[in-house]
Amino acid sequence: MTQQFRSPEPPRIKGIVRPPMPMPAALQDRGKLRQIKLPLMITLYAWYCFLRAGINLLLAIIVWELPDAQFSAFLAAHFAPVPEPLPPEVAFLLSAVFYAFVGWRWWSRDWRARWYAMFMSGASVAETAANLFGSWAAGQPIPLTGPQQAALALTMALNLLICCYLAFYPGMAQAFDESPGP
């Protein structure tokens, strides 16, 4: 007596397509990144960057179109992000591009933007503290008036607050997915 073995697949009929295989569980969680509630400060900072980009673009257009106007000279002297030899319209334009790029990276929640901002704010505090300590240790402390001391303390506190907020705020790590995107 011969045994017949049945194949696990049903016979194929021409024109009938098998349903697709189920999606692996590892790939099903990819869309959940956009469902995480975004902390308010991330959204505000992204919009701040977009606003700065728009303002810098407007200033670049003003300085470019009216180079001989007194207002353009005032803008170039007081608000240009980079001093001479770079022309002020180019400096404003580069600043606009930079702020638009940073805002876009924050809006898309790139984890590198978070780590970069944490590093820059923490390094700013460390640099200021090292300079003040070095000046004090050398015996020639930097002469600061009352308002300058307050501004320095406020700047250091704000940078430290930004660094700690980005590092420790609940939900911040989930808002910035640290796995590389598609």
The SS3 of residue 155 is: helix
Q: Would you say 28 and 57 are in contact if contact means Cβ atoms under 8 Å apart?
A: no
Structure token pair of residue 178: 């640290």
- Which value, to the nearest 10 degrees, does the dihedral of the CA atoms of residues 111, 164, 123, 154 take? 130
Average pLDDT over residues 99-117: 86
**Alpha-carbon distances of 151 from 21, 88, 154, rounded to whole Å:** 62, 27, 5
Structure token pair of residue 65: 């179109």
Q: How confident is the model at residue 102 (pLDDT cuts 50, 70, 90)?
A: confident
Structure token pair of residue 53: 């980009």
CA–CA gap between residue 14 and residue 90 (Å, rounded): 65
Which of 28-42, 95-109, 135-149 is most confident? 95-109
pLDDT single digits (tens) 66-101: 888 888 888 777 777 666 788 888 888 988 998 899
Neighbours of 146 (CB within 10 A): 7
pLDDT single digits (tens) 138-179: 877 767 777 888 888 898 999 899 889 888 887 777 777 665
Structure token pair of residue 127: 């640099």
Distance of CA 66 to the CA centre of its chain: 33
Provide the residue type at 142 as one letter: I
Q: Where are the domains of the chain?
A: 37-108, 110-170
Answer whether residue 58 shows pLDDT above 70.
Answer: yes
pLDDT of residue 57: 94
pLDDT of residue 9: 64
Average pLDDT over residues 16-38: 64
Q: Would you say 56 and 94 are in contact if contact means Cβ atoms under 8 Å apart?
A: no
